[in-house]
């Protein structure tokens, strides 16, 4: 199917002040391409600071890109405010890492969901609203719904709070969910339940999901496609099974080798691969991974690798995979 939402060369520079110096910028995201399709999950994986959340915020239009475009059903999304922007927000919903921070502590579950439904479906009668509201709670398996309507966020477990945040997003009838580390703040024992819920909703509602995570093992379990980012750039992408079991890019290999336990879901934050992530104010030239790469060659220091095919639908931005005599 055609992508619902796509990133086309998305780039984001955050200006920073340097006393007495010329203005500089954090090169947080550089020329990222990404396609989300209905009924499919794409995992966006990378260590802290690699630009994952910035990609999600650009896709959600929370701030403008420095360059590149966001495409909804193939059409560039350019309208930032007004009616068309609100329509966009309805179709593309964000779910954050910390459900406690994203739910206002003074509002009950009923209030939060009712407000989401009212904003997105203004014409509903009181009765219809109540039915929809209970339907949302059932959809995220909070049963019986009446039990949750008058609860405040602090009266719920972390997993229940995240389910409420998901229900609130569903109130908009979205086509796309951008889930930014939706389970990383939750107890390991309940992560699987929330991921299974997202997988179920994806099938039932034919959602396109971007699943952001540090945890490459969960990407294999939960996402059809895996995209690996390093220092603001996509370095590898392909079928999740393939990328996680037969990684091609030296960074992906290090990420997997340093994951706590590749078969245990949700081992927490993976320890960083050997060495430190680079400064994004003056990122390394050529391949941004070259200072840490055990296989770096001369050209890696000066020339930026494009994508080279590894297998069917699996590609890596690494000179090791350049065709013999290739020029790109």
Q: Which residue of 10, 11, 30, 53 would you call a contact of ligand ATP, by CB under 6 A?
A: 53
Burial of residue 307, with CB atoms counted within 10 A of its CB: 0-12 exposed, 13-18 middle, 19 or more buried: middle
Residue 289 touches which of ligand SF4, ligand ATP, Mg ion, none (Cβ within 5-8 Å per kind): ligand SF4
Question: What is the closest distance, in whole angstroms, from the C-beta atom of residue 154 to ligand SF4 in the complex?
Answer: 46
Q: Which runs of consecutive H residues, i.e. helices, occur in the chain?
A: 52-59, 83-91, 99-102, 109-120, 126-139, 146-149, 158-170, 188-205, 216-222, 240-245, 250-257, 298-302
Residues 6+ apart with CB under 8 A from 49: 231, 277, 280
> Applying CB under 6 A, does 280 fall inside the site for ligand ATP?
yes
CA distances from 28 to 12, 153, 232, 271 (A): 6, 33, 5, 21
Question: What is the closest distance, in whole angstroms, from the C-beta atom of residue 55 to Mg ion in the complex?
Answer: 9
Q: Using CB under 6 A as the criterion, which residues of the chain lie in contact with ligand SF4 when the complex forms?
A: 249-250, 287, 289-290, 293, 295-297, 300, 305, 318-320
Is residue 302 within 8 Å of residue 256, measured between CB atoms?
A: no
Q: ∠ at Cα 286 (319, 247), nearest 5°?
A: 40
Residue 318 CA to residue 305 CA, distance in Å, equals: 5
Region from 48-56, 81-89, 162-170, 318-326 binding ligand ATP, contact rule CB under 6 A: 48-56
Calculate helix-pair angle for 109-120, 126-139, nearest 10 degrees.
110
| Contact string (CB under 5 A) for Mg ion, positions 36-75, x = contact | -----------------x----------------------
Question: What is the closest distance, in whole angstroms, from the C-beta atom of residue 216 to ligand ATP in the complex?
Answer: 13
Is residue 79 within 8 Å of residue 164, measured between CB atoms?
A: no
Nearer to Mg ion, 53 or 244 (CB): 53
Asked if omega into 144 is within 30° of 0 (cis), the reply is yes
Residue 3 CA to residue 6 CA, distance in Å, equals: 6
Site for ligand ATP in 159-218 (CB under 6 A): 214
Residue 48 touches which of ligand ATP, Mg ion, ligand SF4, none (Cβ within 5-8 Å per kind): ligand ATP
Residue 49 touches which of Mg ion, ligand ATP, ligand SF4, none (Cβ within 5-8 Å per kind): ligand ATP
Is residue 258 within 8 Å of residue 250, measured between CB atoms?
A: no
Question: What is the closest distance, in whole angstroms, from the C-beta atom of residue 111 to Mg ion in the complex?
Answer: 28
> Applying CB under 6 A, does 116 fall inside the site for ligand ATP?
no
Residues 6+ apart with CB under 8 A from 196: none
Nearer to ligand ATP, 54 or 93 (CB): 54
Question: What is the closest distance, in whole angstroms, from the C-beta atom of residue 180 to Mg ion in the complex?
Answer: 6
Q: Which residue of 3, 49, 145, 153 would you call a contact of ligand ATP, by CB under 6 A?
A: 49
**Interacting residue ranges for Mg ion, rule: CB under 5 A:** 53
**Interacting residue ranges for ligand ATP, rule: CB under 6 A:** 14, 26, 28, 46, 48-54, 214, 280
């Amino acid at each position: 199917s055609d992508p619902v939402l796509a990133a086309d060369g998305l780039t984001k520079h955050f200006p920073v002040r340097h006393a007495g110096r010329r203005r500089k910028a954090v090169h947080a995201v550089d020329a990222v391409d990404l396609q989300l399709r209905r009924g499919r999950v794409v995992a966006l994986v990378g260590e802290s600071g690699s630009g994952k959340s910035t990609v999600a915020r650009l896709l959600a239009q929370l701030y403008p890109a420095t360059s590149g475009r966001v495409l909804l059903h193939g059409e560039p999304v350019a309208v930032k405010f007004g009616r068309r922007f609100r329509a966009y927000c309805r179709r593309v919903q964000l779910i954050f890492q910390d459900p406690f921070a994203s739910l206002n502590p003074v509002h009950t579950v009923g209030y939060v969901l009712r407000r989401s439904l009212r904003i997105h479906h203004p014409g509903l009668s009181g009765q219809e609203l109540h039915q929809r509201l209970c339907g949302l709670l059932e959809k995220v398996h909070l049963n019986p719904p009446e039990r949750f309507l008058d609860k405040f966020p602090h009266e719920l477990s972390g997993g229940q709070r995240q389910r409420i945040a998901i229900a609130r997003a569903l109130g908009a009838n979205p086509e796309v969910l951008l889930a930014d580390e939706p389970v990383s703040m939750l107890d390991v024992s309940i992560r699987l339940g929330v991921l299974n819920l997202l997988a179920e909703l994806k099938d039932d509602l034919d959602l396109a999901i971007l699943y952001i995570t540090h945890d490459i093992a969960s990407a294999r379990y939960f996402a059809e496609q895996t995209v690996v980012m390093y220092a603001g750039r996509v370095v590898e992408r392909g079928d999740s099974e393939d990328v996680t079991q037969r990684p091609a890019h030296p960074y992906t290999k290090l990420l997997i080798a340093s994951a706590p336990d590749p078969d245990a879901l949700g081992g927490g934050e993976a320890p960083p691969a050997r060495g430190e992530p680079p400064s994004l104010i003056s990122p390394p030239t050529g391949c941004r991974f070259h200072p840490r790469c055990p296989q770096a060659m001369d050209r890696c220091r000066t020339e930026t690798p494009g994508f080279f095919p590894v297998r069917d639908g699996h590609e890596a931005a690494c000179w090791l995979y350049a065709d013999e005599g290739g020029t790109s």
